[in-house]
Each structure stands twice: as C-alpha cells, then as structure tokens.
C-alpha cells in the first residue's frame, strides 16, 4: 500500500503539471487529435525544471521545494492568460475529454505496473551505474544553489551531463519525496513514458493515415498504429530474441559445461561476443533500459526525445502559412530550442541527432507549405539558426562550467559482421526499403512528361504528412546505424571497446526511430489497395515484428523472477539493499546522517569503477576526495586520453593513505584535501589512524566488516 501511495502521489504531480501547461501545449500541438495532452506533462516538467535551474544557477533563486512551487504557480498564471485569450479554440467536446480520461487511467495503470515491478529490486548497488546516478540525485537534493557538487571529487562541481538527474530531483521536490524513493519513482516515470508517449505519437500518425478513409475498419487503425508503436518501443527487441531463443541450438554457442539458458541481457552484448572478437559493442534498447532500471543519461532523456519527435511531427502536420515574423516567432521553434538545450545537458549525443532530425523535418515542412524558392531556403536556414541560438543561450550556464573531456572522432577500422547486423537491424531496414520502393514505384506510375525534378517536387508535395514522417524517421534511423559503423568517438576505453559507446548511443536512438517508422509503415502498406504484393509482403513482415515483442515480456518475467528472491517489496532505494546486504555500512551511514554536516569531506577507500567503494559519498551526500577512479578519469580526461593530473594525484594519495603508517604523511594528505572524517574498515593500521584524531564511531558488537569513523578536524 505504501508503494501505491508513492506512485499515486507522483502521478498527481505529473497530472497537475499537465493541466497547468495544457493551454500552451494545445496551441503548440493544435493538429494533434489529443492536442498533445500527454506531452503537456513533459513540457510542464521540462520548462519548469529548466527555469528553476537557470535562476538557481544565476544565484537568483534558492533550490527549494517552495521556490519550485512558486515557479510552477507563475507559469500557471501565464498559461491561464493563454487560455483566456484562446478560450474559443480550447472548447473541446465531451468525446475529447472521455479520451483524455481514458489516457489518464491508462497512464496511472502503467505507472503502477512499473512501480510494482521496481519494488522487487529497488536497491542501489554497484553492479551498474546506480551508485553514480543515485549520488548525483542526492547532491541535487542537498544543494542550496545549482550546480551541485561532485560527491566523488570534493571541491568541484559535477562534470557530467547531469540534467536528467536534476529533473529527477525537481520532481522529488515537487512530490516531497525523499531521495530513497525519488530515485525509483523517476525511473518508474521514465519507463511508463516509454509506453504512453509513443502511444500518443502512433495514435496521431494513425489518425492522419485514415482521415479520409470511409471504410469501417478505418476507425480502428489509429488504435492499432498506437498500440504497435507503444509496444514496439516499450517491449520490442530485435530478431535476436526469436532467433537465439527459439531457433538456434544454444549448446553450440557456449563452452561445454556453461549454462545455456537464454537471458535478456545477452541481446545487448551481441557484436563482439559469441564468439569473442576484438570489436565489442553495446546495442542497448529501451526495454533493456527499462528492466535494468538505472537513471542512465540516455534513458533519462527519452521523455524529451519523444517530445522532440512529437514536435517534429507537428511541424509536418501544421499547414498554416505564416509571414516571416510569424515563422520566426513561432512558439514551436522556441520550445524546440529549449528542449534541445535540455537534451544537450542530459545526454549530449542526442543534441546533434535531434537537431539534424528536426532540421530535416523543417526543410520538408517548409517546402510543402512555401514551395521551393530562394526566400524560403533563407528563412528555413534562419529558423534553424534561431533554434541553435535558443539552445545555446538556454544551456549557456551549463556549457560555461562544463569541461569537455576527450572527444576525437576516428574512422572505424573494425566493423560488425553482416549477419549480426542483419539480426539486429535487418527487419526494420527491410521495412524501410520496401516502403521507399513503394513510394518510388508510385512516383514512376504517376510521373507525367514534365521535368524529373519538377515532377518529383510535385509528388512530394502530394504525400501526406505521415508518409513523409515515416520516410524521415526510417532514413534517419538507418543513417545512425550506418554512422556507427563508419566512425566512432575516441574515449579512455581500450581498443576492444573502442566503438562500444558510439554504437551504444547512436543505435539506441536508431531503435526508437525504427520502431516508430516500422509500426506506421507496416499498417500503411497493408491498407494500400493498389498493390497486393506490398500488402501480402507486409502481412508477412508483421509476424517477425510482433515476435520481437517477446523480448520485453521475457525480460520482465526473468527480472521479476530473479529480483523477487530475498528482497522485501519496497521503493526505498538504499534501505532495502544496504540494510540487507551491507548492514555494517548501513548502520554507519545512519550515524553519519545524524551526526555529521553534509558539507564535511569524508575520506573513504577508492578503486576503479563498478564496485562498492564510494558508497559513503553516494548514500550520505558527504563528498569524498575520489570516488570511482575510472569514471572521474573519463569525465575529466584531456586530449591525450591519459589520466588527468589532479585526478591521478588524488588516486595516488588516497591509495597511499590507506596503506601508509607514516603519521606525518597522512596528516599532509588530510590538510591538502580539507578532510574532516576518515571512514575505515577493519584492517592493520588502526593504531596509526587513531593518532590522527578521535574515534567517534565504531560498529556495535562483533559485526563484520567492522567500521570505524575517525574525526580528524583537529589536525
């Protein structure tokens, strides 16, 4: 019951944000049949959070729950003015509100479902980047002004694309949630949006697909396209699932004696594995992120990705012609600029991807409305420059403080095997090729005796917005896959993993765009009356497409089976994990939270990455000298990709501190980093450490590992 109350409270906050921002949203999404109702929640969340962040960054506003409420209230007044000025346009019939009510009930049910699933394993552990993400969220909730401090690099601000973590903290302040629950609640929200937002996009694509269709079946088409789109994005995988789970002899894939059971995690580690090669990549998709349940930057940004895709669709649907002033002051462009800025600060990879995506869409939309002319080309370029300028200004405080780590682009020397590429991307690519072939054949049939380019422009002009949108999304998705095979961004990882991060980030977005395009294309071609061949071919293609949905279903079932063993049902991120598996640390951190100021630096052991070190700084909010060495190296690396000098010095000093018996040497390190407390587990140098200060905490009883906390402020 407690978990349900958490989820309902969170839902209520999103509902209020959606209602508050619906007047603005209904004007922006005026061609959407639901007027962008579900996206009003994301617009409300994004704009409110961004404005608080901007004002707090400039030290105009403290980052408190009260100030967050004040900003939402001010924005509510602005939206009320918008409503009063456009009251006649916002008078919707009873059927509209019944549909909206149905959407809200569905959204709440999806939230409850993901909340229930998350309660089986709510713990924050070191197996993924949960430690890092939880630590960032904790820092934002503890800070008075933005930006927040880096808990793993005392004295410095977070040098990461942190805006998604900040938005999670903003939701925590609005819902008055503790960090313990806020971490999981935001993940539940993201997972739910990966279903409900594509559902809205698919429904509007389906509506415009059959708006002039008088057949009885036409009224079911929007729901079918919406359902396919939502399920494809939320639970759909690749052909890996049906092939390697149902048809391949798995005993031949693994060495003798290894467990050959199919696991949902193996889909994302396909290229470079089984058999192992020197080119290992990661091809994660949304359902894998949903089940992993980590606040990764790319996953946190999905809510704004879907908003951007919806805004691009609205650009194509909008057939209103405007003058130069009207085009440049269009609220859609202003919103796109702010949302791209949010994407830039949340997951930088998505910034160029969706700037280009929106740019291509804008070119097609302007051509259809204003035709091909020098003036139109100039204004279109001006619109793109306007979007770029808005995002630049909206993200300026972030970019001024952000140190860009090494990001050199190299040509790829290694490439994915063709058969593995076909397994991952063959089905959607084939669907897009079929669709483009259909459009080309139609053009050839309809072509008159005029000039080729003139006839071609005329044909494009006659296409419906959904037809062009499917073409753009499909081609952009294929382009992202192709780019990941041609180039990669160099980082600190070794040659075997040189392409891993590039493939990860580009193909994650390719999968989203492919899912939306293919869901529309299959239904579109099945409905065409002119060609039985295309109709039959797409009916056949529907079977393997639906079979990929089994990936997400299987992942959810497997995750629930594994997670349900031995962990109480809860949404408390730290209590459920630390109390059950690291009880000594749990007790020590409770003491720290009650007795030590959050600004005091607590020294703790460190190591590479993905381990239990750095836990104190993550879970209490007290900064430490150095947390995960590999991650700080990656965030602060120079152009030569070697360890940054200061990070390397901290690494050496922390390692030295826990090995040395030289009291004077230890005191020098304490003074250098302004350390207030030392967190020490059972070891051999306790006597030396007790010479440094006062023992203020010791694990009660004989529980192991035995924790000591030493106050060294008097040095």
3-state secondary structure 621-680: CCCCCCCCHHHHHHHHCCCCCCCCHHHHHHHHHHHHHCCCCCHHHHHHHHHHCCEEEEEE
In this structure, the number of other CB atoms found within 10 A of the CB of residue 531 comes to 13
Instruction: Judge whether 665 lies within some domain.
Output: yes
For residue 127, give Cα distances in angstroms to 22, 187, 551, 630: 40, 17, 22, 15
* Tokens 């609640």 -> residue: 185
Distance CA 490, CA 255 (A): 33
Instruction: Judge whether 632 lies within some domain.
Output: yes
Residue range(s) defining the domain that contains residue 701: 582-711
3-class state of residue 3 by DSSP = helix
Please report, to the nearest 10 degrees, the dihedral formed by the alpha carbons of residues 175, 178, 179, 183 taken in order. Answer: -50
With CA atoms as reference, report the closest residue to 173 among 394, 17, 368, 384.
17
pLDDT value at residue 714: 79
Structure tokens at 38: 């579900």
With CA atoms as reference, report the closest residue to 265 among 555, 32, 3.
555
546: buried, middle or exposed (CB in 10 Å: 19+, 13-18, 0-12)?
middle
Distance CA 564, CA 576 (A): 12
Structure tokens at 210: 């059959």
361: buried, middle or exposed (CB in 10 Å: 19+, 13-18, 0-12)?
buried
Cβ proximity of 548 and 288 under 8 Å: no
Instruction: Judge whether 314 lies within some domain.
Output: no
pLDDT value at residue 637: 82
Cβ neighbours of residue 290 closer than 8 Å, sequence gap 6 or more: 114, 190, 191, 194, 234, 552, 555
CATH of the domain at 676: 3.40.50
Cβ proximity of 499 and 409 under 8 Å: no
Distance CA 121, CA 130 (A): 12
3-class state of residue 698 by DSSP = strand
For residue 169, give Cα distances in angstroms to 3, 308, 419, 664: 19, 22, 43, 41
Structure tokens at 274: 């089984």
Distance CA 330, CA 287 (A): 35
pLDDT value at residue 567: 55
For residue 595, give Cα distances in angstroms to 123, 134, 179, 581, 708: 24, 21, 19, 23, 14
pLDDT value at residue 409: 87
Instruction: Judge whether 588 lies within some domain.
Output: yes
Cβ proximity of 337 and 154 under 8 Å: no
With CA atoms as reference, report the closest residue to 551 among 235, 232, 282, 266.
235
**Residue-wise DSSP of 57-122:** HTTSS---HHHHHHHHHHHHHHHHHHHHHTTTTT---HHHHHHHHHHHHHHHHHHHHHHHHHTTS-
**Chain Cα centroid distance, residue 266:** 21
With CA atoms as reference, report the closest residue to 347 among 396, 293, 391, 304.
304
Distance CA 255, CA 555 (A): 24
3-class state of residue 618 by DSSP = helix
For residue 218, give Cα distances in angstroms to 100, 200, 255, 280: 21, 17, 53, 46
Biggest CA-to-CA distance, the chain: 95
3-class state of residue 149 by DSSP = strand
| SS percent in the chain: helix, strand, coil, step 5 | 65, 5, 30
pLDDT value at residue 394: 97
pLDDT value at residue 475: 97
Instruction: Judge whether 150 lies within some domain.
Output: no
pLDDT value at residue 565: 56
Task: Give pTM, 2 decimals.
Answer: 0.95
Cβ proximity of 435 and 525 under 8 Å: yes
Cβ proximity of 18 and 40 under 8 Å: yes
Cβ neighbours of residue 398 closer than 8 Å, sequence gap 6 or more: 57, 147, 163, 344, 345
Distance CA 402, CA 635 (A): 10
DSSP 8-state class, residue 272: T
Instruction: Judge whether 377 lies within some domain.
Output: no
Domain count within the chain: 1
Instruction: Judge whether 279 lies within some domain.
Output: no
Cβ proximity of 632 and 153 under 8 Å: yes
DSSP 8-state class, residue 702: T
pLDDT value at residue 609: 83
pLDDT value at residue 324: 85
**Chain Cα centroid distance, residue 3:** 24
- What does pLDDT average to in each consecutive run of 10 residues of the chain (715 residues)? 84 96 95 94 98 97 97 97 87 87 96 90 82 94 95 95 97 94 95 97 90 74 95 96 87 72 88 88 93 92 97 92 86 96 96 96 90 85 96 96 80 91 96 93 75 72 90 97 93 82 94 97 87 81 94 90 63 74 88 94 89 89 93 82 87 91 91 94 76 90 86 86
Strand pairing category for 409-411 and 487-489:
antiparallel
pLDDT value at residue 83: 92
Cβ proximity of 162 and 148 under 8 Å: yes
In this structure, the number of other CB atoms found within 10 A of the CB of residue 319 comes to 10
For 137-157, letters b (16+ CB in 10 Å) and e give: bbbbbbbeebbbbbbbbbeeb
pLDDT value at residue 257: 63
Distance CA 166, CA 442 (A): 49
3-class state of residue 466 by DSSP = helix
Instruction: Judge whether 128 lies within some domain.
Output: no
Distance CA 85, CA 406 (A): 50
**Residue-wise DSSP of 556-602:** HHHHHHHHTSS--S---TTHHHHHHH-HHHHHHHHHHHHHS-TTSEE
3-class state of residue 488 by DSSP = strand
Phi first, then psi: what are they for 126, rounded to 5°? -95, 5
Distance CA 201, CA 230 (A): 9
């Amino acid at each position: 019951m407690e978990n349900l109350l958490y989820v309902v409270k969170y839902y209520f906050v999103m509902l209020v944000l959606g209602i508050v921002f619906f007047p603005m949203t209904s004007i922006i999404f005026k061609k959407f049949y639901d007027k962008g109702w579900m996206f009003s929640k994301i617009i409300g969340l994004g704009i409110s959070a961004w404005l608080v962040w901007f004002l707090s960054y400039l030290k105009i506003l403290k980052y408190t729950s009260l100030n967050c409420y004040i900003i939402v209230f001010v924005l509510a007044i602005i939206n009320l003015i918008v409503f009063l000025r456009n009251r006649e346009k916002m008078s919707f019939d009873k059927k509209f509100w019944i549909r909206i009510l149905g959407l809200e009930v569905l959204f709440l049910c999806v939230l409850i479902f993901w909340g229930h699933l998350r309660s089986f394993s709510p713990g924050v552990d070191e197996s993924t980047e949960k430690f890092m993400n939880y630590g960032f969220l904790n820092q934002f909730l503890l800070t008075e002004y933005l930006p927040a401090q880096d808990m793993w690099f005392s004295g410095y601000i977070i040098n990461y694309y942190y805006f998604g973590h900040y938005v999670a903290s903003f939701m925590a302040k609005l819902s008055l949630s503790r960090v313990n629950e806020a971490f999981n609640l935001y993940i539940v929200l993201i997972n739910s949006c990966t279903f409900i937002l594509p559902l809205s996009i698919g429904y509007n694509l389906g509506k415009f697909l059959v708006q002039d269709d008088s057949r009885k079946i036409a009224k079911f088409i929007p729901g079918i396209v919406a359902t396919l789109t939502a399920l494809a994005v939320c639970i759909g995988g690749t052909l890996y699932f049906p092939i390697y789970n149902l048809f391949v002899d798995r005993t031949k894939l693994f060495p003798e004696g290894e467990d050959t059971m199919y696991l949902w995690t193996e889909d994302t580690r396909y290229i470079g594995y089984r058999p192992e090669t020197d080119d290992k990549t990661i091809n994660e998709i949304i359902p894998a992120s949903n089940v992993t349940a980590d606040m990764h930057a790319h996953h946190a940004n999905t809510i704004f990705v879907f908003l951007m895709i919806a805004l691009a669709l609205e650009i194509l649907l909008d057939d209103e012609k405007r003058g130069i002033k009207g085009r440049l002051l269009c609220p859609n462009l202003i919103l796109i600029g702010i949302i791209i800025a949010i994407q830039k600060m949340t997951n930088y990879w998505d910034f160029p991807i969706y700037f280009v995506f929106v740019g291509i869409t804008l070119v097609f939309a302007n051509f259809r409305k204003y035709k091909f002319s020098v003036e139109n080309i100039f204004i279109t370029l001006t619109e793109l420059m306007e979007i770029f300028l808005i995002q630049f200004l909206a993200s300026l405080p972030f970019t001024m403080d952000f140190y860009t780590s090494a990001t050199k682009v190299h040509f790829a020397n290694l490439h994915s095997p063709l058969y593995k590429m076909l397994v991952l991307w063959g089905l959607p690519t084939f669907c897009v090729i079929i669709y483009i072939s259909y459009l080309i054949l139609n053009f050839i049939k309809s072509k008159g005796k005029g000039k080729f380019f003139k006839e071609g422009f005329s044909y494009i002009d006659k296409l419906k917005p959904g037809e062009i949108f499917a073409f753009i999304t499909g081609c952009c998705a294929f382009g992202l896959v192709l780019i990941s095979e041609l180039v990669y961004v160099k980082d600190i990882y070794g040659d075997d993993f040189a392409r891993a991060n590039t493939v990860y980030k580009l193909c994650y977005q390719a999968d989203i765009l492919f899912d939306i395009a293919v869901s529309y294309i299959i239904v579109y071609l099945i409905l065409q009356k002119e060609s039985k061949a295309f109709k039959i071919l797409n009916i056949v293609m529907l079977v393997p497409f639906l079979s990929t949905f089994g990936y997400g279903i299987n992942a959810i079932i497997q995750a629930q089976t594994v997670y349900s063993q031995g962990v109480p049902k809860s949404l408390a991120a730290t209590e459920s994990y630390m109390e059950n598996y690291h009880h000594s640390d749990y007790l020590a951190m409770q003491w720290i939270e009650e007795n030590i100021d959050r600004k005091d630096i607590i020294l703790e052991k460190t190591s590479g990455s993905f381990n239990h070190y750095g836990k104190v700084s993550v879970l209490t909010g007290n900064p430490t000298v150095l947390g995960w060495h590999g991650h700080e190296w990656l965030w602060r690396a120079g152009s030569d990709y070697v360890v940054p000098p200061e990070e390397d010095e901290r690494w050496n000093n922390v390692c030295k501190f826990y090995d040395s018996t030289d009291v004077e040497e230890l005191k020098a390190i304490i003074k250098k980093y302004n350390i207030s407390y030392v967190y020490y587990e059972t070891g051999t140098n306790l006597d030396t450490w007790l010479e440094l200060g006062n023992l203020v905490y010791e694990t009660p009883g004989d529980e192991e590992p035995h924790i000591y906390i030493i106050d060294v402020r008097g040095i």
